[in-house]
Structure 1
Amino acid sequence: MPTLGAIADDFTGATDLATMLVARGHRTVVAVGPEALSGGPGEAAVRDADAVVVALKSRTAPVEEAVGTSLATLRALRRAGCERFYFKYCSTFDSTPGGNIGPVADALLAELGEHRTVVVPSFPATGRTVYKGRLFVHDELLDESPMRHHPLTPMLDSHVGRLLAPQTGHPVRLVGLDTVRRGRDALRSALDAPELADALVVVDAVSDEDLVTVCEAAAHLTLVTGAAGLALGLTGPHAAAARATPASRPGDPGVVLSGSASSATRAQVAHARGLLPHRKLDLAALRADFDGTVAGLVAFARRAWDDAPGKPPLIYAVDDLADLEQPEPHDGPPASELVERALAACATGLVAEGARRLLVAGGETSGAVVTALGVRTLSIGSPIAPGVTWARAEGRTHGRDHTVDLALKSGNFGDTAIFTEAWSALA
């Protein structure tokens, strides 16, 4: 029975955290939505796990919806036996001035009858660190990094406290690196100080060792919040936890579906275009004939499997910042929604055509694809890069069960060659 329950605000974040937990010795399952925790084929997997991560699509949802689904997930995790909880958000603290990190943290604390928690977006393995309360992306402040231009959650300040304060009813406080470096006991004493009794406490961390210290010092808190890096201090009971075996075999058809507009993903797309068959989404064509355009993309990928075996075709949305500057139509869905729908429809069509390996880039796109494929649980498999892993996905679409290998990549994660090199981890 699981004792650790995690609520992830998007699908890539869920697999990111699950990968960290598996590496730390936790038998871990990712459940897609709170419904997957009771009944159906995923119930046995949940029952046998040490940790359950529930993937939501709440990062950019309206605040009321994000809070509601997060609370429903917390209640489902408690019914499943979990006693300690982890609210997982992106290491770039993706949010709007109104939420959703603060409102969800407030609601979870109130539901648990708790009054304080830590706020730890650091994940040094992916270049995210917090020093003096300011969030860095590699050597740039958050608001000077490409995240400043994120189409959904542009991050215009690097100070985590200033970002969080308008979102929460709790005071926001900072514990600096000097306290963290004095060790677990000193940090725990600082967290337990009376002046922090009702606070959301931003904690500096610039190294993996700092994160282990933070996690150990916060071990008595019922709820912690942070990026996946905080899990470095969560040692589980199964040091040699087995990863799921792949659902596919070398040579099985695969595809890359990229909806992310991040600078990292644009570089990955540029690299892959020189090596893989590729096709860019035509938004005008999708608006004029959605079904016909998707059918053409599926047919393109199907031909590519025959014409270029061993080279998974790439279907992508963005390769240049100019793509983000196109005016939105006066009627019809916005471009971001159209991209999600199109790539999700491509995923279902390609799985029906025999695809067994799908690498999906972008948190919103990943959520759309997982939902379209009817995935209920993901069993974590081989790692690809920090924060990115293959997972064995059990799903059902159009009345047919399917099992595929699925990698969900946050837009900012992975090196430049990930679209061409990720497949070797499945061999």
Structure 2
Amino acid sequence: MIGAIADDYTGGTDVAVALRSQGLRTLLFFGVPPPADLPGHDAVVIALKTRTGEPEQAVAQSLAALDWLRGNGTDQVYFKYCSTFDSTPLGNIGPVLDALADALSVKTVAMTPSSPHHGRTQYQGHLFVGGTLLAESPMRDHPVNPMRDSYLPRLLRAQTAESVGVLPLETVRNGLADALSSANDRYLFLDAVDDTDLTVIGQALRRAPLVAGAAGLARGLATARPGTSGQLENPPVTGPAAVLSGSCSARTLEQIAAMIRVGRPAYRLDPVSQNDPDVLAAQALAWYDALPGSAAPLIYSSMGPVDLQRTQEVLGVEESAWILERASGLVADGLVRRGVRRLIVAGGETSGAVVGALGVSGGAVGAEVDAGVPWIHPVGRPDLALLLKSGNFGHVGLLVTASREDG
């Protein structure tokens, strides 16, 4: 069994759908699950909220997830981080990797954030986003983790005392096995620019106890796994839909604009005008209650760089984030109580708040709406479906199409 540990909830859905796409029956849990009888499966993903937390907490939660996976039959552990490698000089990619590698007594951990499905590629150790160097992409001005360097070894060396190396593309394509067997670096970034490269890497790493990267390499690893008896059955969920967005990424802002252009009702959560999250949520739900018709609405706290800076200057970074996450969770709970059965959520932190508020511990991975964006069918809730979208993912019209009656 492949056991994946993801550093945020939307990253968990991304890696889960990558494993499922290759025929692996995949379960996804939000947080370390309690002991339970699970349906037949080939892969388990434990999604955590460790990307932006304190390094010590991220390590402790990741080791708890590792203990659960090892106790439930995992023979290969996959640490899933973001395909844009977004983090800070303090972590948490490096500290978590150090802890996992030490716990598993692994000499070398091979990895790559390359995920061509999402436009992420690695060449000569540099990360490209849509053909543009990471540091020159919109990630340069990411509101939480601005990425001002594109060279992956340098980024990771700031987070770990271990040695970090690169295998160039020519070696990956000609002599990968020999290079891996003779590697001396603790962490080794492998160049990959297309899915064929990732398949080759996945085959070479099929017996590695610990691998790390984005969803692209997880897909490559899954191709090296034996076939299964088929997917977990998840009947489609119908009923009212709503969109809840907290991501401030450029792509999500485009998706929000697309919803507004087609005339969807939209309500903005503004923590500056109302800094009590309970009142903020109640106002949004009162707006929802007054809506005519059945068009799936949008409730969002997403904002552009200027508004985000103003909000953080007025309230502080942590306070504004707490207000919006709590309000988003309360709104999600209120929407479901009012009969919403398909909830589309944009943003990793927002997804975490929603899942927590709804008490969703996990579920089966369903159909993919766009690359890395699947429907999640929560355990014990056959009437509910969640779509948790990473801020940077999806085509411009994704929120519109996913929330349609036939979405």
2:242 aligns to what SS in structure 1? strand
Alignment RMSD: 1.9
Q: What is the CA distance between 1:138 and its match in structure 2?
A: 0.5
Q: Distance in 1 between matches of 2:405 and 2:376?
A: 11
Q: Distance in 1 between matches of 2:155 and 2:96?
A: 14
Q: Residue 76 of structure 2 aligns with which residue?
A: 84
Q: Residue 389 of structure 2 aligns with which residue?
A: 409
Q: Deviations over 1:330-377 (max 9, x none)?
A: 679522222211111100111111111111001111111111111111
Which of 257, 261, 271 lines up with 1:283 in the alignment? 271
1:368 aligns to what SS in structure 2? helix
Q: Tell me if the contact between 1:177 and 1:205 (Cα under 8 Å) persists in the aligned partners.
A: yes
Partner AA of 1:38 in structure 2: P
Q: What is the CA distance between 1:424 and its match in structure 2?
A: 5.7
Partner AA of 1:267 in structure 2: E
Q: Residue 23 of structure 2 aligns with which residue?
A: 25
Task: Determine whether 1:380 maps to 2:372.
Answer: no
What percent identity do the matched residue pairs reach?
Answer: 44
Q: Tell me if the contact between 2:123 and 2:193 (Cα under 8 Å) persists in the aligned partners.
A: yes
Q: Distance in 2 between matches of 1:378 and 1:334?
A: 31
CA, structure 1 residues 322+161, in 2 after alignment: closer, same or farther (shift >3 Å)? same
Q: Residue 146 of structure 2 aligns with which residue?
A: 154
CA, structure 1 residues 173+333, in 2 after alignment: closer, same or farther (shift >3 Å)? closer
Q: Which runs of 5+ in 2 are unaligned?
A: none
Q: Distance in 1 between matches of 2:316 and 2:79?
A: 36
Q: Tell me if the contact between 2:135 and 2:148 (Cα under 8 Å) persists in the aligned partners.
A: yes
CA, structure 1 residues 421+330, in 2 after alignment: closer, same or farther (shift >3 Å)? closer
Q: Distance in 1 between matches of 2:287 and 2:233?
A: 31
Q: Deviations over 1:119-174 (max 9, x none)?
A: 21000111000001000000211011111111111111000010001211320000
Q: Distance in 2 between matches of 1:244 and 1:256?
A: 25
- 277-286 vs 95-104, greater mean Cα deviation: 277-286
Q: What is the CA distance between 1:246 and its match in structure 2?
A: 4.1
Q: Residue 44 of structure 1 aligns with which residue?
A: 38
Task: Determine whether 1:366 maps to 2:351.
Answer: yes
Partner AA of 2:401 in structure 1: E
Which of 186, 197, 209 lines up with 1:222 in the alignment? 209
Q: Tell me if the contact between 1:119 and 1:200 (Cα under 8 Å) persists in the aligned partners.
A: yes
Task: Determine whether 1:210 maps to 2:194.
Answer: no
Q: Distance in 1 between matches of 2:35 and 2:327?
A: 30
Q: Matches of residues 8-407 of structure 1 in structure 2 within 5 Å?
A: 8-34=6-32, 36-39=33-36, 43-45=37-39, 48-182=40-174, 186-193=175-182, 196-233=183-220, 234-235=222-223, 236-238=225-227, 241-246=230-235, 248-249=237-238, 252-275=239-262, 276-287=264-275, 289-304=276-291, 307-309=292-294, 311-326=295-310, 327-329=312-314, 334-394=319-379, 403-407=383-387
Q: What is the CA distance between 1:382 and its match in structure 2?
A: 1.1
Q: Distance in 2 between matches of 1:239 and 1:330?
A: 51
Q: Tell me if the contact between 2:143 and 2:305 (Cα under 8 Å) persists in the aligned partners.
A: no
Q: Distance in 1 between matches of 2:299 and 2:234?
A: 27
Q: Tell me if the contact between 1:37 and 1:80 (Cα under 8 Å) persists in the aligned partners.
A: no
Q: What is the CA distance between 1:321 and its match in structure 2?
A: 2.1
- TM-score, length-normalised on structure 1? 0.90
Q: Tell me if the contact between 1:394 and 1:403 (Cα under 8 Å) persists in the aligned partners.
A: no
Q: Distance in 2 between matches of 1:237 and 1:426?
A: 34
Q: Tell me if the contact between 1:31 and 1:37 (Cα under 8 Å) persists in the aligned partners.
A: no
Q: What is the CA distance between 1:425 and its match in structure 2?
A: 9.4
